[in-house]
Structure 1
């Protein structure tokens, strides 16, 4: 059976790469901006497979060089444009590469597309953005669907919700099904007990009993901030309840005579954080990958903390390989309608200015004036929305999409020239 290939953009340190590899995909190319993460990838995938640099730079990666030669385009494009911490600027954020990745699929022509991002992308704020993505993929000849997946549903002892987009050709879509959840009995304590006891800490079992729960989302942080820690104030409070000091990352496990956790909470090491991200001890490939992790503690922590958990990537990879090989046909259900934005659809389909009443009528949506104005305000953050006063009240028209899709003259080019060293 022929090998299925993948090109992965914004590959990070390889959480998604490892999972897709375990599912059976072979990397044709992996592109990453961060030098430490790129070094990790080269050590694990091979120097000939990895490109270091801005993925949107045609001298680094030109999709037209790989047309028809790859089965899957995958990636974890930057999260700040959709995260609360990043102010959810969406298409107005120069770091946004989600729309670019979708347009790249039209040039590369893979059989499948897999993109993941933070939960924030699923918020009502991005209803129009998501609709635009679905409409573009339909135009390119794909069937696409969004789904919110939780890492804890795939054996990872961590909440970590991720918003995932999958697109396939119509002939492959009937063979795709979202991965089935598995019962997860792993806790932070049971997952890390052996690592906490690596130096014969006499209170490791008592700590394990304290840590009988699921971890909050690991936060990798950015280059703009200081050293490694486990997240914002709310996350630190959740870690305390699990018997973990989240104010930093330790160099080593507690020593044999270290105090009881009720006296002083232990900190996690990078290896422990990796375990909570799904790099599990039973799998030798996971261990080899971690042994090749480049950089010192903070660089290593950021690579692991920003990764897509390998078990989730493996589950998605399994489902995609099954679909691409037509292993089992499933009942074709209508794709999820929760991301459909009727207001955007009406405006994007018209070149004329339309009043709120006409827009809502055509969209079959009944909204108060305040609700409608809020929807328009959300659309205005991602699209150029023109307004004109008419006898019937304000009228609206969408004249363009603000996102970077590879075009010359976009603000992203200047942003990358001046801030590249700080881009995570």
Structure 2
């Protein structure tokens, strides 16, 4: 299945799509350091990126005529700063808003499906109208913004088209499904809430819903304080049940219903086999270098060992909330190493990051967890394959053979 990756960063979403069976005809990213990371791994022959055609530059200046129409998938995470909680919240007034460029490329390539990922902040009340505007642009990419037309005027025109229903079955339209998800619910050792906007070309007649969550907090608590298997697995004694969790654990203990999800994966689950970065043993692990200077203060605390990590963010020392720090068993704090952060983002150990600690932490903070990307892309791939098989069967039934 052929695909294109926009705003690829260090390649988290692209790698997940690759693992789901998509072959990237182009991987486009403007940031030199992120491109260097991909280039270094490609040079080393790392399997998931070895065959990528990487283009360093702006998606708006790429020669899209080199990509055939009707590819299977277009995927990407437009820059999140216009909508990020930590940004300036300028949305449509922010020059980094790349949603218009994304819609333009969809209009040109007419992919069978697209996957667009962005920050939870996109769904904030302050952006409510612009968020709906984005969804309608993705639904009707053949109704572009007119010259000198204000975005809200274009929004009204798209709303009228949506309610009329006239374009369904005519021209290029997409069935668009937006979903706010927590990566921890899909086996990622990080509480990372993100918006996924998935669309299928209307003419394919595909019905799709976001994959069901596979992991849960209740299952983690059950493993920790009902069966104790979590602590047993890590060779530890079960600690006392925190008072604030006592009631919830009691309900889990008294329930006769079996757990239908797996436990959330924790920081300890993710990094327990890595050596302490302050020891010589850490020198044998790529990107596992101790970074000093971490300190805790009110409002700036790190991630506890026995929960999924806080959301890794694109920063280093100045990250508010201490999201890039780990709370050690003795109560002290230290920064996550790059390798630990990569584990939290579910990048494979064989994938190496290029640049300084602060630069690689920026790449990781901007990345889509590879495991979550694979989960979403696999569900999209399954629907596309089934639709193709159904189309072939119809051709055989109609003509007695496959018509090219």
Q: TM-score, normalised by structure 2?
A: 0.64
Select 1:147's aligned residue among 168, 179, 188. 179
Determine the C-alpha separation between the residues in 2 that align with 1:310 and 1:131.
27
**Structure 2 counterpart of 1:174:** 206
Give the CA deviation at 1:197. 4.3
Structure 2, gaps ≥5 residues long: 43-48, 141-171, 216-262, 282-302, 390-404
Give the CA deviation at 1:141. 1.2
Select 1:49's aligned residue among 41, 53, 62. 53
- Is 1:287 matched with 2:349? yes
The CA RMSD measured in Å over matched residues stands at 2.6
**Structure 2 counterpart of 1:185:** 264
Give the CA deviation at 1:297. 2.3
**Structure 2 counterpart of 1:195:** 274
Contact 1:23/1:317, CA 8 A, preserved across alignment? yes
Contact 1:218/1:231, CA 8 A, preserved across alignment? no
Determine the C-alpha separation between the residues in 2 that align with 1:80 and 1:48.
27
Determine the C-alpha separation between the residues in 2 that align with 1:48 and 1:157.
28
- Is 1:160 matched with 2:192? yes
- Is 1:313 matched with 2:313? no
**Count of aligned positions:** 282
Give the CA deviation at 1:28. 0.7
Q: Secondary structure at the match of 1:174?
A: coil
Question: CA 1:145 to 1:41, structure 2 compared with 1: closer, same or farther past 3 Å?
Answer: same
- Is 1:212 matched with 2:306? yes
Deviations 1:36-90 (A, max 9, x none): 2112223332476000011212xxx122332415211111110011112222111
Q: Secondary structure at the match of 1:39?
A: helix
**Structure 1 counterpart of 2:358:** 298
Deviations 1:371-406 (A, max 9, x none): xxxxxxxxxxxxxxxxxxxxxxxxxxxxxxxxxxxx
**Structure 2 counterpart of 1:413:** none
Q: TM-score, normalised by structure 1?
A: 0.61
Contact 1:211/1:243, CA 8 A, preserved across alignment? yes
**Structure 2 counterpart of 1:261:** 330
Contact 1:175/1:322, CA 8 A, preserved across alignment? no
**Structure 2 counterpart of 1:323:** 383
Question: CA 1:234 to 1:193, structure 2 compared with 1: closer, same or farther past 3 Å?
Answer: closer
Deviations 1:181-214 (A, max 9, x none): 112332112221211447489xxxxxxx961112
| Higher RCO by CA contacts (8 Å cutoff, separation 6 or greater) | 1
Question: CA 1:200 to 1:154, structure 2 compared with 1: closer, same or farther past 3 Å?
Answer: farther
Contact 1:153/1:181, CA 8 A, preserved across alignment? yes
Contact 1:30/1:51, CA 8 A, preserved across alignment? yes
**Structure 1 counterpart of 2:88:** 87
Contact 2:264/2:308, CA 8 A, preserved across alignment? no
Contact 1:68/1:110, CA 8 A, preserved across alignment? yes
